[in-house]
Structures are given as C-alpha cells and as structure tokens.
Chains A and B, each alone.
Chain A
Amino acid sequence: MSKSNLTNNIRKLRFENGQITQQQLADKVGVTRQTIIATEAGKYAPSLPLAFKIARTFAVPIEQVFQYQDDDPQVSASDTNA
C-alpha cells in the first residue's frame, strides 16, 4: 500500500466523538480494525463508499474527514476557481 496524497482527521474525530476506539469505528463502518489503522496512518486510501460511511459515522461532511493534496498546481488552481 503506497502512501498517497490523501490525509485524514480520523484520529482527531474519534477523540472528539466520545473517544471511540479503532475497533468500534471498524464495527460501525463494517471493516476490520487493520483497515482503520492503515487508513488513519495514510497507508491505505479507502473506497468512496467507505469514506462516506466514516464521514457519516462522525456526522460530518466527507471533506472534513479526508483531504486530497494534488501535486499538479494547475489542477489545484482550477479546483479553486471552479
């Protein structure tokens, strides 16, 4: 699993939402604890459905959980203008 430009706030959100454990979050979204560990560490980019499930668990928009840093400045600029 290569490191991607995807960063996340899962750890922070877990502690802000009643200090739920990695296992509890894993059970809520229907994955193994190892997947939550790898996602939190930025070693695994989850699928879109899983990303939405995690965001809904914390009752926040997906952008608040995951952020994507694009290497190409042109793409980032066009995203900002759009």
Chain B
Amino acid sequence: MNKVQRETWIALLLVVPVWAIFGQLPVLLIYLEGPSFLHLFSFACATIIGGLSWLLLLFFNRKRKRKAKIEFDERDKLILNRSTLAGYVMLWIYFIAACIYVWLTASPDRSISVNVMPIVIVEGIAVFIFVQSVSSLIQYGRVGKNVEK
C-alpha cells in the first residue's frame, strides 16, 4: 500500500464519517433548538477544521523526513485525476438532486429553511470525498496477485 492509497483509506474511513457527522450535528442542533452562539461557533469550528484538514496532512507530510523511496508517480497522478473527475461529476449530480428535492419539498409559501444551505454544502463535500476515495481504491484494484516479497 503506497502513500496515496493510505491517505485514501484515511479519507474514506475517518474524514468522510467525521465530516458528515460533526459538520451536520451543529446544523441539526440549530434546527431543533434554534441558533445560539455555541451552536454557531461549533458549526464554524467543524467546517473550518474539516475544510482545512487537508492542509494539516500537507504540513505533516512536509515535516516528516523524506525517504529515498518514491511515493507518488505518473500512475498515482492519473488515478488522482480520474477520481477527482468522478468526485466532481457525482458532486454536480448531487447538487442538482438536492436542488430538485428542495424545490419539491418547499413549504406551501415556497420558502425553505436556512438550514438547507449548510446541509447541502457540507454533505456535498462528504459526497465528493467519498466518491473520490472509492474511485481511487477501485482504480488501484487488487495488486496482491503479482506482488513479490
């Protein structure tokens, strides 16, 4: 398993659930209990930390001592490009589906809750990371067959 695969598994198993749950929790609390400083502050913290978590990963990678071993090459770049495209396509489909859903479920006076926008955005990011990760792992496939110890 190389660096990109490792990061993809982390994104799939850790970032997506944490982002989807903790990004939505404050929105749900605001919806149920009304806006308060604590709820808004926790929403801001969750989105800032979630959104900037990739920068932390970048920072730690840079700090770690680089070994001579190559960890990223042309195949990884190709897989990353394709999976990013797949993530983008799915994000766009999700966004259209979310808009249609909102239109169909709007209240009789044609108004929608202000909670809809953060939910759509936060879940959209989770969808993007999820699809990108799954797409990457599918493209890497099972390589164990031809591996030599």
Which residues of A does B touch, CB under 8 Å?
Answer: 1, 21-22, 26-27, 30-35, 37-38, 40-41, 43-44, 46-47, 50
A35 with B146, Cβ < 8 A, contacts A1-B141, A27-B69 known: no
In Å, the complex CA distance between A37 and B147 comes to: 7
Identify whether the interface residues of B are mostly helix, strand, loop, or mixed: loop
Could you list 15 further interchain pairs (A-B, Cβ under 8 angstroms) beyond the known A34-B140, A37-B147? Answer: A1-B75, A22-B148, A27-B68, A30-B70, A30-B73, A32-B70, A33-B2, A34-B5, A34-B143, A35-B73, A35-B74, A37-B146, A38-B143, A41-B146, A46-B74
Which residues of B does A touch, CB under 8 Å?
Answer: 2, 5, 68-76, 139-141, 143, 145-148
In Å, the complex CA distance between A44 and B74 comes to: 11
Separation in Å of the B134 CB from the closest CB of chain A? 15
Separation in Å of the A13 CB from the closest CB of chain B? 14
Separation in Å of the A23 CB from the closest CB of chain B? 8
Separation in Å of the B68 CB from the closest CB of chain A? 8
8 of the cross-chain contacts (CB-CB < 8 Å) are A1-B141, A30-B73, A35-B75, A37-B146, A38-B143, A41-B145, A46-B75, A50-B74
Are A32 and B2 closer than 8 Å at their CB atoms? yes
Are B2 and A27 closer than 8 Å at their CB atoms? no
B72 — which chain A residues lie within 8 A by C-beta?
A: 32
Are A40 and B70 closer than 8 Å at their CB atoms? no
Are A37 and B70 closer than 8 Å at their CB atoms? no
A47 with B148, Cβ < 8 A, contacts A1-B139, A27-B69, A32-B2 known: no
Name A36's closest neighbour in chain B (CB-CB): B146
Separation in Å of the A29 CB from the closest CB of chain B? 9
Are A31 and B146 closer than 8 Å at their CB atoms? no
B73 — which chain A residues lie within 8 A by C-beta?
A: 30-32, 35
Listed from nearest, the 10 A-B pairs whose CB atoms lie closest are A31-B73, A35-B75, A41-B146, A37-B146, A32-B2, A37-B143, A32-B73, A35-B73, A22-B148, A47-B74
